[in-house]
Structure 1
């Protein structure tokens, strides 16, 4: 294949990868944040202690984190078909990508929230802050650098997940690398997809680091 033939394929595949990564990162970010907050609030000594709920949530999150993505993707085929109407294609793959990434981010959120200085929370509580204010204006606000850093790691992981999803027909750079670079022995295609993935990871990391540093200095 010539580069004139490769560039259109590469542009399309990159767009599909960005679509799957962006949509699943947004959904996993919201779900992971909610799960992480609930894990902290419901823990012993939390603002809303509920040991049974905490153990249940922890069990569900651990299951999501323990399954390799390829196995999770196959296991979720019936659920994916129910939600998206299909188990094949870019949009359908957003479902297992989200399910795989949300528990991962939830643990990172939990870690970031636990690193907030307890003295800050105690001071806000002494000043009469409500539970909602303690969560939104204290915990989440103080944990912003850690939350952003965790989301950066999650987005990078999702880029890797999308590449694996490409092996089962999800499209994107993974599909391009397998169908052209591997099966058709097109070395230039394989090299191009690897380079694009490296560039995407570097860009995500740079943006994440920049935002994290700015939030840390505020």
Structure 2
């Protein structure tokens, strides 16, 4: 049975969840389309790897570390001018996706690099010995061997993105976290806050379960 307080704010909760899914969805897409290639270059350009390049590795490694080391709330504020320049406004759900996408790229690129480091070196050496091109090594060997770790890393990252999205009310991004603050905390409705927290825990648990299950099923080891 749905509690009365949830029934009362049903439409607002649905809207807030939709905003959260938009922000997290854009972050996941950015992580895969940009973060994964950056993580791949980090792996390939490190010392002793296939495309060893000290300068490229140092630049990418430094940029990733800088973004990941800045407290997210400060990063959101710092990126307001860039967000306004990029999409014409610094307020709203669309604007909130910009800092989220940037932290998502940095976060997942590092996890992707770590997943690839777990691939046995002999597999890549054998691929090169067979005359495989760099493209073939990446898509037919590296990603195949690291796929379980990549999926698990993306799952972990997505959970983090959901957590990051809860503070996007500072730029009018909305989302379920902003709803809990405005309608729960600020209006002294502790029960509403508790129910929202339970909803988020359920969503995260389902996401973690699906991601972990997929990662285990595609693990070749």
- TM-score scaled by length of structure 1: 0.96
Using a 3 Å threshold, how does the CA distance of structure 1 residues 177 and 168 change in structure 2: closer, same or farther?
Answer: farther
1:205 and 2:205 are equivalent in the alignment? no
Q: Which has the higher mean CA deviation after the structures are superposed, 103-112 or 163-172?
A: 163-172
Deviates more, 1:141-150 or 1:17-26: 17-26
Match of 1:153 among 153, 156, 161: 156
- CA distance, structure 2, for counterparts of residue 181 and residue 168 of structure 1: 19
Give, in angstroms, the shift of residue 108 of structure 1: 0.4
**What is the aligned partner in structure 2 of residue 16 from structure 1?**
19
Segments of 5+ residues of structure 1 without an aligned counterpart are: none
Aligned to 2:99: 96
Q: Distance in 1 between matches of 2:91 and 2:76?
A: 11
Q: Check if 1:173 corresponds to 2:176.
A: yes
Q: How far apart are the structure 1 equivalents of 2:87 and 2:68?
A: 23
Q: Cα offset for 1:192?
A: 2.0
Structure 2 unmatched runs, 5+: none
- For the aligned residues, what is the CA RMSD? 1.3
Asked if the contact 2:45–2:56 (Cα under 8 Å) also holds between the matched residues in 1, the reply is: yes
Q: For residue 184 of structure 1, report the CA deviation from its aligned partner.
A: 0.8
Q: SS at the partner of 2:65?
A: helix
Q: CA deviation at 1:217?
A: 4.1
Query: Counterparts in 2 of 1:39-188, with a 5 A limit?
Result: 39-188=42-191
1:167, CA displacement in angstroms?
Answer: 4.2
Match of 1:195 among 192, 195, 198: 198
Is 1:26 the equivalent of 2:20? no
- Deviation readout 1:190-213 (Å, 9 max, x if unpaired): 112111110111111011011101
* Shift in Å, 1:128: 1.2
CA distance in structure 1 between the aligned counterparts of 2:182 and 2:88, rounded to whole angstroms: 25
- Partner deviation per Cα, 1:121-147 (whole Å, 9 max, x = no partner): 111111111111111111111100000
Shift of 1:27: 1.0
Contact 1:115–1:143, Cα closer than 8 Å, also in 2:
yes
Contact 1:149 1:212 in 2 (8 A): yes
Structure 1 contact 167–178 (Cα < 8 Å) conserved: no
Q: Distance in 2 between matches of 1:84 and 1:200?
A: 30
Residues in 1 aligned to 2:27 and 2:76: alpha-carbon distance in whole angstroms: 14
Q: CA deviation at 1:188?
A: 2.7
Q: 2:9 is paired with a residue of what secondary structure? A: helix
Q: Which of these residues, 8, 12, 18, is aligned with residue 5 of structure 1?
A: 8
- 1:5 deviates by 1.7
